[in-house]
Amino acid sequence: MATIKDIAEKAGYSISTVSRVLNNDQSLSVSDETREKIYEAAEHLNYRKKTVRTLVKNIAFLYWLTDKEELEDVYYKTMRMEIEKLAGYYNVELMTYKIGDGIHQIPDSIEGFIAVGTFSEKELGHLRSLTDHGVFIDSTPDPNHYDSVRPNLDQITRRTVDYLLEKGHTEIGLIGGTYHNPNNDLDEMDLRERVFRRYMDEKGLLKDEYIFSHRGFSVDNGYYLMSKAIQQLGDKLPTAFFVAADPIAVGCLQALNEQGIAIPNRVSIISINNISVTKYVSPPLTTFHIDIRELCKNALQLLLEQILEKRKLVKTLYIGSELVERKSAE
């Protein structure tokens, strides 16, 4: 492991100067060039400064998903595991609470929370009565009071449409899930579908008959919806589909393969998440990679800002994505 002495020798400065630069000593007067050389040397030698993190206790992890929802979508299971792992790294003492036991199980002694899942207005009100410190991952249910970190689904949807248009597709459909509103127990249009409809309409290409959605982001739901599309549209099936999530897309591929519909020669498929199975399905799935670790890391960092640095201003952070091109779209 590299030491400050190693960095000093490589950069050509004294051990004292290097130490003070790496420890961000504001009283040290050195040029930007000097600082840059020291930072470059430290990076080249893979130097990692030892830090002692403050223990942050009484943080609730609100995992507001059913066992069935986690089983159907590995995206959330991965998120839960990353939160639990990163909490150890950031020296955060987590207490996990699940939706089945209800919101009132959470003690009024909590210092803050990290939340995943869907919350009603009543539940949000109860959280506000417990703490001012909280971060939601993957949604922004209370932007006036709490931080949130989420993938930029609006941007992903638009990029998908643009990508398919560049490939020459004009007949583009959508297969997705619906949003369950806990306040009225109704299924409502998901963000991805809303953006897709609006963006396709702007381009004069929107066709309602190409859009299929139903509650659930599971493989079974994808199979059901694509089978329905094939049955209803027949030879008029669009040449490409934007699919709301990878598990749905896996079901779509199954339905298309069963019917002998060539992918991507007849129908191209693009999805979201880049879960591990997407590289092994037939054909391998073109999908937007969402960095779940980055989502979780930023959520914990935002919470620590609130608690340790006393930040009051609320933040909503959108994380970008990367298109992983495989063989399901052309």
Q: How far is CA 160 from CA 156, 165, 323, in A?
A: 6, 9, 9
- pLDDT surpasses 60 at 257: yes
Query: Is 224 a member of any domain?
Result: yes
Residues 219 and 258 in one domain: yes
pLDDT in tens, 98-110: 999 899 999 999 9
pLDDT of residue 224: 98
* SS3 per-residue string spanning the chain: CCCHHHHHHHHCCCHHHHHHHHCCCCCCCCCHHHHHHHHHHHHHCCCCCCCCCCCEEEEEEEEECCHHHHHHCHHHHHHHHHHHHHHHHCCEEEEEEEHHHCHHHCCCCCCEEEEEECCCHHHHHHHHHHCCCEEEECCCCCCCCCEEEEECHHHHHHHHHHHHHHCCCCCEEEEECEEEECCCCEEEECHHHHHHHHHHHHCCCCCHHHEEECCCCCHHHHHHHHHHHHHHHHHHCCCEEEECCHHHHHHHHHHHHHCCCCCCCCCEEEEEECCHHHHCCCCCCEEEECCHHHHHHHHHHHHHHHHHCCCCCCCEEEECCEEECCCCCC
Residues 169 and 285 in one domain: yes
Query: Is 103 a member of any domain?
Result: yes
Cβ atoms of 134 and 303 closer than 8 Å: yes
CATH code, domain with 96: 3.40.50.2300
Residues 26 and 90 in one domain: no
Residues 225 and 187 in one domain: yes
Query: Is 325 a member of any domain?
Result: no
Residues 161 and 260 in one domain: yes
pLDDT of residue 315: 98
pLDDT in tens, 266-297: 999 999 999 999 999 999 999 999 999 999 99
Q: In terms of Cα–Cα distance, which of 229, 228, 248 is closest to 238?
A: 229
Q: What is the band of 42 on the pLDDT scale with cuts at 50, 70, 90?
A: confident
- Cα–Cα distance measured from residue 258 to residue 154, given in angstroms and rounded to the nearest whole number: 32
Residues 127 and 186 in one domain: no
Residues 301 and 280 in one domain: no
Query: Is 189 a member of any domain?
Result: yes
Residues 165 and 273 in one domain: yes
pLDDT of residue 26: 64
Considering only 21-25, 65-69, 145-149, 319-323, which range has the smallest mean pLDDT?
21-25
Residues 287 and 177 in one domain: yes
CB atoms within 10 A of CB 114: 27
* Mean pLDDT of the region 83-102: 92
Q: Which domain holds residue 80?
A: 56-150+292-319
Query: Is 37 a member of any domain?
Result: yes
Residues 197 and 141 in one domain: no
- pLDDT surpasses 80 at 54: no
Query: Is 73 a member of any domain?
Result: yes
Residues 158 and 282 in one domain: yes
Average pLDDT taken over every residue of the chain:
93
Q: Locate tokens 């248009």: which residue?
A: 165
Residues 108 and 229 in one domain: no
Query: Is 266 a member of any domain?
Result: yes
Number of domains observed in the structure of the chain: 3
Query: Is 226 a member of any domain?
Result: yes
Q: How much of the chain, in percent, has pLDDT values that exceed 90?
A: 79
* Mean pLDDT of the region 160-168: 98
pLDDT in tens, 204-239: 999 999 999 999 899 999 999 999 999 999 999 999
- pLDDT surpasses 60 at 7: yes
